[in-house]
Structure 1
Amino acid sequence: NRAVFSFNMTVDKYFFKPIAEVYNVLPVEIRSGINNALLNIDSTLSVPNQILQGNFGEAITSVVRFTINSTVGILGLFDPASAIGIEKTNREDFGQTLAVWGVGHGCYAVVPFLGPSSPRDAAGRILGIYGDYFYMISAGDRTAFGENLGDTVYWATKGTEIINFRSQNIKSSENLEKNSLDLYSAYKSLYLQRRENLVKNVKRSDSQYGSSDDEWKKIR
């Protein structure tokens, strides 16, 4: 795990972080629009998991938000749903659903390029591919975007999601590196606590590392 973690940190240092720093040069309005659009797409994965977890009210709210933001909000670039009082719901994925159903976390693992994970969350990632509506209409189905464009749209979106997340967490990761005696253990602790809190739908902040739910919302 530590060897893979070191590899991932090197890749981040020389690839993802520099791109994220360039991305941060974009005007905040553009970055905000991109972030809104990515969150809007991501909500299509939350809906089936909210249903499977019995959170039907949140599922309905997510569908309403997606409909409003995809139309009035111009494909999710804007968030008119929040402006009229329809608040964001908790983000859910299949790893969380498996946890709600009683599946144990399993051993902690660090995956090359993907980062922290576990058997439960790895299974959730696989299920998430086939439960991801955006994947099914782009790379998975080939009818909405066409044979080649579908793959391009899907993977370009995923790549943008990674850079967007990394750009939002540059300061948080720097604080973590500065304040941690053992960076590997710090990331492990942060990941495990974050996943537990996501399952319980608990929001928290971690002043020791300068990170909060908003800053680390997409660590899985």
Structure 2
Amino acid sequence: MPFACARASFGSRGGCWLKRAGNGLKFMTFLSRIHRTAGVFLVLTILAGCATQPQEPGSGPQVYDPIEPVNRVFFAMNETVDTFVLQPTAFVYKTALPDPIQDMVRNFLRWLRSPVVIANSLLQGDTDNAGNATRQLFVNGLTVGLIDWGHGQDWGYRNEDFGQTLGYHGVDGGPYLVLPLLGPSNGRDLVGRVVDIFFDPLTYIVSGPGARNAIAIARNGTSAVDFRARNFDQINELKASSVDYYARLRSIYLQRREAVIHNGKVPDSALAADGSKEFEDFSPTDRPRSVTGALPAKSN
């Protein structure tokens, strides 16, 4: 009876109250997600900042891979996805789509990433690259990023991410990691992936976690297919010529990350333990059906 009276006295204001309660619940859910993200970011920052690569007197720089058994499990999973999903899809992509269409896909993906590049370039004090990325954002925006109006001009594209920003300011790479579906990384670059989400305007423009997740999956999936298609034969040859493909890809990834942090000027400390510069021999391309450098005969 008291419940019935209370419900009766609720009146027409009940719907309004329920709506406000629902909005409050959504807000609390949003705060909860922010707190979880902040907690993950804190843990990853500690992981990337405190972990250091072990050095042995008289030897070259050592790869810091403390969870190699786990990484190799994820690596095997990724290779399975590549063999049965990514590689066939990339083959159809590069065979069916004309080169100009592939270029448009690449240009669109770069255009979407321009705000992240601008933010990280400014954090590194690189105003030139920030200016180039800003021009690309607004000028290429006239065609929704499908056409790169700056191609061949003096404002070429150079990607920057927060992992590079941390490296530029002296943060060590931390442990080597293989992320499910995302591939090679390390503690520092994993933190960078999280921070770059907050630099991306689509994070705030698109409403609803379902829509944001769908866009993220579509962007990452398209980028992976585009990269695999542009380097189709080179990656297959790299696999076939490697005694230990995991170790070889790890070496190439770590050296290339040091290269992009220093904008191509790689310090001697970034070389592999044997002093090789394998990353210079295998440079991923951004053009359809173009040829990268000759693959090194040596396998790590």
Scaled by the length of structure 1, the TM-score of the pair is 0.84
- Bigger CA radius of gyration: 2
Alignment equivalent of 1:188, drawn from 244, 250, 268: 250
Alignment equivalent of 1:202, drawn from 264, 271, 290: 264
Give me the CA root mean square deviation: 2.6
Shift of the alpha carbon at 1:2?
1.6
* Residues 1:184 and 1:149: Cα distance change in structure 2 (over 3 Å): closer
* Residues 1:172 and 1:134: Cα distance change in structure 2 (over 3 Å): farther
2:82 aligned with 1:12:
yes
Alignment equivalent of 1:155, drawn from 214, 217, 239: 217
Aligned to 1:80: 149
**Are the equivalent residues in 2 in contact too, given 1:70–1:76 (CA < 8 A)?**
yes
Shift of the alpha carbon at 1:198?
0.7
2:185 aligned with 1:117:
yes
In the aligned structure 2, how far is the partner of 1:91 from the partner of 1:66?
13
Secondary structure of the residue aligned to 2:158 is coil
* Residues 1:215 and 1:153: Cα distance change in structure 2 (over 3 Å): closer
Q: Deviations over 1:9-37 (max 9, x none)?
A: 11110111111111112122211111111
Q: What letter corresponds to residue 181 of structure 1 in structure 2?
A: V
**Are the equivalent residues in 1 in contact too, given 2:231–2:284 (CA < 8 A)?**
no
Aligned to 2:168: 100
How many residue pairs match? The answer is: 207
* Residues 1:94 and 1:34: Cα distance change in structure 2 (over 3 Å): same
Secondary structure of the residue aligned to 2:184 is strand
Moved over 3 A (4+): 146-155, 206-210
**Are the equivalent residues in 2 in contact too, given 1:203–1:213 (CA < 8 A)?**
no
**Percentage of matched positions with identical amino acids:** 34
In the aligned structure 1, how far is the partner of 2:151 from the partner of 2:126?
20
Shift of the alpha carbon at 1:178?
2.0
Q: Which runs of 5+ in 2 are unaligned?
A: 1-70, 267-276, 288-300
**Are the equivalent residues in 2 in contact too, given 1:44–1:134 (CA < 8 A)?**
no
* Residues 1:185 and 1:3: Cα distance change in structure 2 (over 3 Å): same
Secondary structure of the residue aligned to 1:117 is strand
Q: Which runs of 5+ in 1 are unaligned?
A: none
* Residues 1:203 and 1:214: Cα distance change in structure 2 (over 3 Å): farther
Q: Deviations over 1:43-79 (max 9, x none)?
A: 22111000000011211121012111111xx111111
Aligned to 2:119: 48
In the aligned structure 2, how far is the partner of 1:118 from the partner of 1:38?
24
* Residues 1:38 and 1:203: Cα distance change in structure 2 (over 3 Å): farther
Q: What letter corresponds to residue 79 of structure 1 in structure 2?
A: D
Aligned to 2:236: 174
